[in-house]
């Protein structure tokens, strides 16, 4: 499979290091507030990535972390921990905030039909491993302590720091990223933050680094390095995340992991672009932050939202508008309506949908840097064959199965054949039409419509679909 590797800035063939199992790490949600639609974009793409790798006969061992501590409100190692901020906002503890939004995130992931990671790990479940990791870095000479603040990673110890983001470290202006007093270099970052004296935190642990000891909590970057190593090993095949993680979070993951292991952390770094709303960045002040529930409340299907996302390549900036959402819903409705023909094989003119060539075309599109827009085109081409009465029940079943297997969209969505009584009503209506009894014909059409059955009159006979 070919993927765009941010590390090399080119599309590359990616194969598992052990030849059989892809080890994949995904940066998870920071569980301090309600997820919005932009938060789910990457997970929709990475779900298709996992499905594609599995369809290619590879095993996938995937880890996704849950950030329930240590993610400060700024990338510069200053500001408030987002979980502590959430606790103040909601009047509960940081632990309760984390538990609340972990449950919400799990529910919404299920609503989207996303595959579950092999390992779904809370940062707070790996605190001792994170402390040990920092001590390992300390023993290797990569750290220093800022009194009263925390343990920091000394980026000047590395010749290739910033290689993922192609950072011009020498060219950065002093204080441009990290204005913490006492830092040796502006790119240095916190591994462990010390609790402020006299201020009790909900989440803090005993530790001892350098000359400082006492209570503290891990830096945000530390958890991903440690959780990836503990669950997947020293080296992984693919690391995924948003493009906003490139210059700081992922850059620092590489620095600390490779300093401990002495090995390349990940073969490939794959990043998804952002989703805007009405062409603008999502912001509370603009009132354009939407949730999955907002989509459902307006009567749209979450599979249609997935189609909206997948209609853009993962490296391309997306845009959400309600008009685009309506178009995605119309496409999904058309696809699903076509599958009602699965039970009307007597209307068939041909029977070649869902062929091996379809599966190959779909696989080729997704193997080419996860080209989901092309995959949608391939599916739509096959759907149009069905609409042109290229019908074979088993072939349509296979088509629906392949669509779900590759992109996680359920075309049947509980569909089934209509009842024998409804088929009798359709036959009776057709007889009324043949007899030019238009009143009876209209009466039977209305009766069927009340039962959720719509009719289209064609030369070959009536075609039914579910409303």
Q: What is the pLDDT of residues 270-314, one digit of tens each?
A: 999 999 999 999 988 888 999 999 999 999 999 999 999 999 999
| pTM (two decimals) | 0.94
Last residue of a domain, one of 272, 291, 310: 272
Which SS3 state, helix, strand or coil, does residue 42 take? helix
327, 305 Cβ separation under 8 angstroms: no
CA 327 to CA 128: how far, in whole Å? 50
CA 31 to CA 66: how far, in whole Å? 7
Question: Please, which pLDDT band fits residue 214 given cuts at 50, 70 and 90?
Answer: confident
**The predicted structure's pLDDT at residue 174:** 45
Domain-located, residue 412? no
Range of the domain at 299: 277-407
Are 206 and 293 found together in one domain? no
Last residue of a domain, one of 407, 429, 454: 407
Which SS3 state, helix, strand or coil, does residue 243 take? helix
Last residue of a domain, one of 247, 272, 297: 272
Query: In sequence order, what are the residues at sequence separation of 6 or more whose Cβ sits closer than 8 angstroms to the Cβ of residue 86?
Result: 32, 33, 94, 97, 101
Domain-located, residue 39? yes
Are 171 and 231 found together in one domain? yes
Max CA separation in the chain (angstroms): 97
Are 152 and 287 found together in one domain? no
Domain-located, residue 296? yes
**The predicted structure's pLDDT at residue 175:** 44
Are 15 and 142 found together in one domain? yes
Arithmetic mean of pLDDT over the chain: 93
Q: What is the pLDDT of residues 420-462, one digit of tens each?
A: 999 999 999 999 999 999 999 999 999 999 999 999 998 888 9
Is the per-residue pLDDT at 116 higher than 50? yes
**The predicted structure's pLDDT at residue 339:** 95
Are 69 and 192 found together in one domain? yes
DSSP string, 312-366: S-TTSPEEE-HHHHHHHHHHHHHHHHHGGGGG-GGG-SB--TT-HHHHHHHHHHH
Are 338 and 254 found together in one domain? no
Are 251 and 388 found together in one domain? no
Of residues 76 and 312, the one with the higher pLDDT is 312
Are 393 and 447 found together in one domain? no
Q: What is the pLDDT of residues 151-202, one digit of tens each?
A: 999 999 999 999 999 988 776 654 455 557 889 999 999 999 998 877 889 9
Domain-located, residue 415? no
Are 211 and 90 found together in one domain? yes
Residue 241 dihedral angles phi and psi, to the nearest 5°: 170, 180
**The predicted structure's pLDDT at residue 213:** 64
Are 156 and 181 found together in one domain? yes
Residue 207 dihedral angles phi and psi, to the nearest 5°: -155, 170
Question: Please, which pLDDT band fits residue 352 given cuts at 50, 70 and 90?
Answer: low
**The predicted structure's pLDDT at residue 172:** 62
Number of domains in the chain: 3
Are 70 and 115 found together in one domain? yes
Q: Averaged over 323-336, what is the pLDDT?
A: 98
Domain-located, residue 414? no
Strand locations in 176-265, DSSP E?
189-194, 205-209, 212-218, 236-242
CA 166 to CA 168: how far, in whole Å? 6
Are 188 and 305 found together in one domain? no
Give the least confident one: 69-73, 179-183, 203-207, 377-381: 179-183
Domain-located, residue 198? yes
∠ Cα 105 111 116 (to 5°): 65
Q: What is the pLDDT of residues 357-404, one digit of tens each?
A: 899 999 999 999 999 999 999 999 999 999 999 888 889 999 999 999
Domain-located, residue 289? yes
DSSP string, 305-321: HHHHHHTS-TTSPEEE-
């Amino acid at each position: 499979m070919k993927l765009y590797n941010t590390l090399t800035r080119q599309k590359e063939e990616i194969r598992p290091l052990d030849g059989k199992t892809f080890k994949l790490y995904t940066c998870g949600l920071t569980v301090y507030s309600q997820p919005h639609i932009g938060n789910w974009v990457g997970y929709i793409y990475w779900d298709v990535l996992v499905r594609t790798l599995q369809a290619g006969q590879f095993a996938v061992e995937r880890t996704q972390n849950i950030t329930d501590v240590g993610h400060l409100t700024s990338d510069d190692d200053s500001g408030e921990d987002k979980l502590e901020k959430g606790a103040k906002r909601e009047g509960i503890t940081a632990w309760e905030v984390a538990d609340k939004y972990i449950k919400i995130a799990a529910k919404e992931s299920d609503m989207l039909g996303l595959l579950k990671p092999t390992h779904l790990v809370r940062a707070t479940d790996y605190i001792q491993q994170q402390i040990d990791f920092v001590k390992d870095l300390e023993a290797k000479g990569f750290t220093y302590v800022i009194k009263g603040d925390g343990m920091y990673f000394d980026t000047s110890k590395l010749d290739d720091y910033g290689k993922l983001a192609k950072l011009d470290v020498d060219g950065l202006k002093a204080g441009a990223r990290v204005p913490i007093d006492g830092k040796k270099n502006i790119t240095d970052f916190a591994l462990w933050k010390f609790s402020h004296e006299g201020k009790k935190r909900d989440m803090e642990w005993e530790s001892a680094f350098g000359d400082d000891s006492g209570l503290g909590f891990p830096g945000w970057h530390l958890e991903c390095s440690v959780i990836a190593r503990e669950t997947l090993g020293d080296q992984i095949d693919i690391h995924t995340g948003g493009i906003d993680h490139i210059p700081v979070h992922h850059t620092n993951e590489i620095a600390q992991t490779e300093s401990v292991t002495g090995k390349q952390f990940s073969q490939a770094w794959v990043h998804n672009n952002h989703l805007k709303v009405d062409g603008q960045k999502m912001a509370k002040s603009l009132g354009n932050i939407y949730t999955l529930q907002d989509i459902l409340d307006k009567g749209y299907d979450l599979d249609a939202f997935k189609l909206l996302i997948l209609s853009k390549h993962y490296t391309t900036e997306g845009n959400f508008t309600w008009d685009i959402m309506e178009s995605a819903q119309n496409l999904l409705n058309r696809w699903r309506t076509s599958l009602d023909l699965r039970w009307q094989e007597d209307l068939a003119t041909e029977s070649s949908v869902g062929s091996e060539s379809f599966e190959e075309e779909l696989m080729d599109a997704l193997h080419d840097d996860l080209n989901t827009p092309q995959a949608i085109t391939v599916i739509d081409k096959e759907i149009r064959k069905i609409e042109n009465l290229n019908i074979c029940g088993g072939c349509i079943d296979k088509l629906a199965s392949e669509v779900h297997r590759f992109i996680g969209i359920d075309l049947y969505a509980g569909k089934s054949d209509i009842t024998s009584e409804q088929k009798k009503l359709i036959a009776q209506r057709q007889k009324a039409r043949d007899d030019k009894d238009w009143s009876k014909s209209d009466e039977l059409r209305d009766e069927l419509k009340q039962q959720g059955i719509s009719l289209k009159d064609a030369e070959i006979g009536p075609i039914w679909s579910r409303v």
